[in-house]
C-alpha cells in the first residue's frame, strides 16, 4: 500500500489506481511489415525491472485520467509523476 | 427518468447519523475541453464550472461538481422538479453544447442515486471502508471527491458542515445503502 500523487486530483491511496504497465513503448509504424516475433516482442515482452521503472497509471476510481509514474519497483518509492505527453524526467 | 419504486427511500436515523435517499433528482454529465464551454454553461445555468480540482460551484437551483479536468456533473437542488422540466433542461444543454460540437451532454439521472448523510459521525462511518483522507474535505464546504467506499465507486459532495451528498451507481445503491446502515448501527 502506498500513496500516489495524481497530477489532477492530488494525493490518493493506491487502491484507487490501476497500473497500465510499462510506459513509453512506441508502437511500430508499420505492423504489417514486422515478423511474428517482432510483433510479439512489441506486444508482450516487458522489461519488468527490479528498480526504477517508468509506468503508466490510471486513476480508475477518481478522475479516470492516465498519467506516468517513475517508481522503484523494489520499494514502491515514487520518484516522479508526470502527465501523458510530458517528457519524462531525465535524472532520477 | 425511470418510474421506479426504490427499496431504500425511507429515512434511517441513528444516534448521530441520518441517511436518506433523495430521488428523483436531475443529474447531467458534461464533458468538454473547449474554451467557450465555460462561458456557455455560465449563461445557461448561471454558474461557472469549477476549474480547480475537487471543488464545486452552485446556486439555489444547481450544483456543478468537478469530476476531472474536462468533466463535470450538474445536479438539481430541486427535488420537486417535474420530468418535463428535467427533459427541458437536458434539451437546452444538449442543443447549446452537444449540437454545436462544444462538448458532450449526457443525462445520468437514472445512472446515479443520491444519498444524503447528515450528522456528526458521518465521516467516521465512511472512513470504516474508504481509503480517502477526509481531514481537508470536511473543513471545506463545497469540496468534491471521487473515491471508493466498501469497494464501490462514489462521488462525495460536501454540502455543508456534516451534511454530504453521496452519488452511487444505481446497481450498487442498495448494497451500499445496506452497508451504510449496518455500519451506522455500531457508531
Residue B77 has pLDDT above 90, yes or no: no
User: Considering only CB atoms, which chain A residues are within 8 Å of B133?
Assistant: 11
Q: What is the pLDDT of residue B83?
A: 77
Q: Is the dihedral of CA A33, A34, A35, A40 positive or negative?
A: negative
Interface predicted TM-score (ipTM): 0.89
Q: What is the pLDDT of residue A1?
A: 79
Domain residue ranges in chain A: 3-83
Q: What is the pLDDT of residue B1?
A: 58
A–B CB contacts, 8 A cutoff, strictly below: 37
Q: Tens digit of pLDDT for each residue in B6-50?
A: 667 688 899 899 999 988 889 999 999 998 999 999 999 999 999
User: Considering only CB atoms, which chain A residues are within 8 Å of B69?
Assistant: 8, 63, 65
CA distance A34 to A48: 24
User: Considering only CB atoms, which chain A residues are within 8 Å of B132?
Assistant: 12-13
B140 — pLDDT class (breaks 50, 70, 90): very high
Do B147 and A16 count as a contact with CB atoms less than 8 A apart?
A: yes
CA distance A68 to A52: 13
Residues on A contacting B at a C-beta cutoff of 8 Å: 8-13, 15-16, 61-65
Do B132 and A12 count as a contact with CB atoms less than 8 A apart?
A: yes
Q: What is the pLDDT of residue A92?
A: 64
Is B100 within 8 Å of B34 (Cβ atoms)?
A: no
CA distance B91 to B79: 19
B127 — pLDDT class (breaks 50, 70, 90): very high
Low-confidence ranges of chain A (pLDDT < 50): none
Q: What is the pLDDT of residue B181?
A: 93
CA-wise closest residue to B136 among A41, A10, A52, A86:
A10
Q: What is the largest CA-CA distance in chain B?
A: 52
Sketch out chain B's domains with CATH numbers: 10-25+111-187 (3.30.1360.120), 26-108 (3.30.70.1520)
B5 — pLDDT class (breaks 50, 70, 90): low
- For A3-83, which CATH class? alpha beta
Amino acid at each position: 500500500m502506498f500513496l500516489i500523487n495524481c497530477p489532477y486530483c492530488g494525493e490518493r491511496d493506491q487502491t484507487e489506481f490501476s497500473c497500465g504497465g510499462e510506459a513509453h513503448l512506441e508502437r511500430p509504424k508499420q505492423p504489417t511489415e514486422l515478423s511474428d516475433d517482432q510483433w510479439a516482442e512489441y506486444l508482450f515482452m516487458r522489461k519488468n525491472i527490479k528498480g526504477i521503472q517508468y509506468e503508466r497509471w490510471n486513476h480508475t476510481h477518481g478522475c479516470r485520467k492516465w498519467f506516468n509514474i517513475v517508481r522503484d519497483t523494489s520499494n514502491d518509492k515514487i520518484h516522479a509523476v508526470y502527465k501523458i505527453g510530458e517528457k519524462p524526467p531525465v535524472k532520477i | 427518468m425511470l418510474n421506479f419504486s426504490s427499496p431504500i427511500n425511507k429515512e434511517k436515523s441513528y444516534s448521530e447519523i441520518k441517511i436518506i435517499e433523495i430521488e428523483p433528482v436531475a443529474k447531467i454529465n458534461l464533458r468538454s475541453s473547449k474554451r467557450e464551454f465555460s462561458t456557455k454553461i455560465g449563461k445557461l445555468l448561471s454558474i461557472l464550472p469549477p476549474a480547480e480540482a475537487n471543488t464545486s460551484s452552485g446556486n439555489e437551483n444547481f450544483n456543478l461538481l468537478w469530476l476531472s479536468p474536462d468533466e463535470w456533473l450538474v445536479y438539481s437542488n430541486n427535488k420537486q422538479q417535474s420530468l418535463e422540466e428535467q427533459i427541458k433542461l437536458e434539451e437546452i444543454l444538449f442543443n447549446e453544447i452537444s449540437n454545436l460540437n462544444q462538448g458532450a451532454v449526457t443525462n445520468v439521472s437514472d445512472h446515479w442515486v443520491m444519498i444524503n448523510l447528515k450528522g456528526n459521525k458521518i465521516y467516521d462511518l465512511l472512513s470504516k471502508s474508504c481509503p480517502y483522507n477526509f481531514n481537508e474535505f470536511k473543513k471545506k464546504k463545497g469540496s468534491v471527491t471521487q473515491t471508493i467506499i466498501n469497494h464501490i465507486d462514489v462521488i462525495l459532495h460536501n454540502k455543508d458542515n456534516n451534511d454530504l451528498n453521496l452519488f452511487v451507481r444505481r446497481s450498487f445503491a442498495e448494497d451500499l445503502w445496506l452497508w451504510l446502515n449496518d455500519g451506522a448501527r455500531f457508531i
